[in-house]
Structure 1
Amino acid sequence: MINIRRSAERVKLMDTEAGEANGNPAIERMMKIFATIERQPEGAPFRDIVERTGIARSTVYRLLNSLESHRMVQQLPDGSYCLGARLLELADNVTVASRFFKFTRFIQPALDRLATITGETCKVSVIERDAIILVAGSTGRSLHAFSYTLGELLPPHAGGASKVLMANLSEDQRDRMLPKQLVAFTPRTLTMRQELEAEYARVRAQGWSHDPGEYSLNVLSYAAPISGPNGEVAAALSITFMAGADDAYRERIRQAAISGAADISTTIAGKLS
């Protein structure tokens, strides 16, 4: 058994060496780093990356610095790493994707400022191919700030961002995106189409939405629309916070979502002028 195991290990080592010999060693190492981070979407600690890739600490450090400078990875406040927004922009060039992806690099500073001011996690979501996807974000630094995963698909009938985006679609588009059977994630999830349509009307009229715990009872949010190049609703900014906050804190987050979405809309307009 020991001989068999050692033989298998030698074969694996030979395959790895052959792969690096026939390719570019630096790229092979970067791909190992990507694979490790991909398996830990909430953040891969530096130590885990070193241990799981088998790459020297100094090499991992240099590669991560280069990848972060090109926005291929992003370092989170706790020091761990997640995949970066640049990957979504690259995907935009090989798939039929949202036109909004090309703006993510320009809005990141605004997201970072907003997350710093509020202390809460700020996220931007769009509709792509009849799905709601999270395309940009910045993690807050408060004790209870929530994490996020770029590329995460969101339910179309629950959550602040989803309600903003769905409210500004035509009824035919909503028919196409909403499943026949709406899942109740919590007791606060709206599962009747008539209730949803009434909520969408409120969101359109007031210009913002509130998630009182529709996807998770512990996670609340406010969201507001981000205008695209032609004034259309192209994305939604949402700010999440923990349940139990007082009215004054909730109002501060609501105002931050509205003003933050307006700032991002202005940034996008400026890039087109």
Structure 2
Amino acid sequence: MPHGGDYTIESVENALRTLLLLRNNPSFRAIDVATELQVARSTAHRMVATLEKHNFVRRNPDKSFSAGFQLVELGIAVLGGTDFAAEIQPFLDQLAQRTGETAHFLILDRDESVFVAGAEGTHVVRAVVRVGERLPAHATGAGRVLLAALPEADVASLYADHPLEGGTAHAIRTFDELRDDLVRVRAEGRAINTSHSEEGLMAVARPVVDATGTLRGAISVSGPEWRFAPRLTEVDRLLAESLAAFAKKV
């Protein structure tokens, strides 16, 4: 069967090149597409409109475009999280009901935490569900739990040669600080996040292990610090109970 450059479809190639603009940037504008593809702006607008129609990109208030739901779902599927997310969703729902706080299931993609599934808490003031979003792993409790499960050499390869960026002023900023923190996380089996990813937000995270002992990701429970801090021990206990029940059933 023939293959190669002579049998490619230019419009499909242009659509893929447009989506690849999101590889290094959180958003793009139609003029960026026109420049990348070397086409007229009207052609670029039609290309983006088609991708928007099929939910591969979404329009932002400033008229730029970011990854749409379909693209996010595809990325999560490639990372292996979609089927497992369906299995863990009932546990997230129950955990959110029992704690009153928002629960997320996350996986690790190099140095980023990926929010794969979530359930909103029951309080009026609560953390929002962030399915499909990414945050620096070192700035989230779940990310630090998952980094702690890696060999130290793998963590070093991700962080040793460059500064830790992202998160708030409270986030970990040096590799030495991260290395010391991961020692504590391994010892305690959990990570606590106090305003590292967002000011005023507190979370506790633990690893998700299935019945075979395989690490599948991490669950984080989060809420406003003023309410969460006095209940940290209680919320952590409920999280541990939920994970123990999950390990027996899956």
TM-score, with length taken from structure 1: 0.61
State the shift of 1:102 in Å.
1.8
- Residues of 1 paired with 2:86 and 2:211: CA distance? 16
SS at match of 1:162: helix
Of 219, 236, 241, which aligns to 2:223?
241
Count residues with an aligned counterpart.
Answer: 194
Partner residue of 2:116 out of 114, 135, 144:
135
1:258 to 211, 231, 240: 240
Q: In the superposition, relative to structure 1, how do residues 143 and 121 fare at CA in structure 2: closer, same or farther (>3 Å)?
A: same
| Cα deviation code 1:63-83 (max 9, x no counterpart) | xxxxxxxxxxxxxxxxxxx95
Are the equivalent residues in 2 in contact too, given 1:146–1:241 (CA < 8 A)? yes
C-alpha distance 146-83 of structure 1, shift in aligned 2 (>3 A): farther
Segments of structure 2 that go 5 or more residues without pairing to the other structure are 1-45, 61-67
The residue type paired with residue 193 of structure 2 is: D
Matched, 1:126 2:107: yes
Hey, what's the Cα distance between the residues in 2 that align with 1:134 and 1:147? Answer: 12
Tell which structure's C-alpha radius of gyration is larger.
1
Percent of residue pairs identical = 26
Q: 1:108 aligns with which of 83, 89, 105?
A: 89
Residue matched to 2:130: 149
In 1, Cα distance between the equivalents of 2:127 and 2:222? 7
Q: SS where residue 143 of structure 1 aligns?
A: coil
> Which residue of structure 2 lines up, in the alignment, with residue 221 of structure 1?
203
Q: Decide whether the 8 Å contact of 2:138 with 2:172 is kept in 1.
A: yes
What residue in structure 1 maps to residue 171 of structure 2?
A: 189
Distance 1:212 1:174 in 2: 22
1:196-233 Cα deviation digits (max 9, x unpaired): 11111111111111001111221110001101464132
CA distance in 1 between counterparts of 2:166 and 2:84 reads: 34
SS of residue paired to 2:138:
coil
Partner of 2:150: 169
How far apart are 1:103 and its partner, in Å?
1.4
Task: Could you list the structure 1 runs, at least 4 aligned residues long, displaced by more than 4 angstroms after superposition.
Answer: 31-36, 90-93
CA contact (8 A) 2:146 2:218 kept: yes
Distance of 2:86 and 2:168 partners within structure 1: 34
Instruction: Indicate the residue corresponding to 1:180 in structure 2.
Output: 162
Q: Secondary structure at the match of 1:245?
A: helix
Contact preservation (8 Å) 2:211, 2:248: no
Residue 148 of structure 1 aligns with an amino acid whose one-letter code is: V
Other structure's SS at 2:82 match: helix
Unaligned segments of structure 1, at least 5 residues: 1-15, 17-27, 41-81, 269-273
The separation in 1 between residues aligned to 2:176 and 2:210, in whole angstroms, is: 29
Contact 1:228 1:235 in 2 (8 A): no
Deviation (angstroms), 1:130: 5.4
Cα distance between partner residues in 2 of 1:134 and 1:103: 13
RMSD: 3.0
The 3 A distance-change label for structure 1 pair 245 and 91 is closer
1:147-204 deviation line (CA, Å, top 9, x unaligned): 1222211202111101100111012221233371112633321112222111111111
Cα pair 1:236 1:261 within 8 Å, conserved: no
**Residue by residue, what CA displacement relative to the aligned partner does 1:6-55 show, whole Å, maximum 9, x if unpaired?**
xxxxxxxxxx9xxxxxxxxxxx9xx848479x558xxxxxxxxxxxxxxx
Aligned to 1:73: none
Partner of 1:204: 186
Aligned-partner Cα distance in 1 for 2:134–2:76? 16
Which of the residues 141, 152, 155 maps onto 1:160?
141
